[in-house]
Amino acid sequence: QQQVKQSPQSLIVQKGGIPIINCAYENTAFDYFPWYQQFPGKGPALLIAIRPDVSEKKEGRFTISFNKSAKQFSLHIMDSQPGDSATYFCAASPNRDDKIIFGKGTRLHILP
């Protein structure tokens, strides 16, 4: 119930393509869904976050889609670039003061 399941584990996309990373959860108490981006040898950084009352959120080339009834959410990267190559983590939290649960990560590689 506390897990966030993330897929795929790794993804290779040509430059300009649209990589899609999917996440699913069971706990309906989750109320915040952030995505983090991590470059090799660095700490993760918050990329974008969404709440269940919103079906889609965009920040630049990054878009989160949220399906509350299916308990699924996904990250799309438009016009992907080699500089987007990183590991992406989805996460979930039941409220603003609780710990967050991370998915296992997706290693994305954008080919030049």
34 binds other proteins (CB under 8 A): yes
62 binds other proteins (CB under 8 A): no
108 binds other proteins (CB under 8 A): no
- Minimum distance from CB of 52 to other proteins (Å)? 13
64 binds other proteins (CB under 8 A): no
Per DSSP, the residues of 10-78 read EEEEETT---EEEEEE--TT--BEEEEEE-TTS--EEEEEE-TT-SEEEETTEEEEEETTTTEEEEEET
How buried is 70 (Cβ within 10 angstroms: 0-12 exposed, 13-18 middle, 19+ buried)? exposed
- How many residues bind other proteins (CB under 8 A)? The answer is 25
11 binds other proteins (CB under 8 A): no
Residues that bind other proteins (CB under 8 A): 6, 9, 32-34, 41-46, 49, 89, 91, 93, 95-100, 102-105
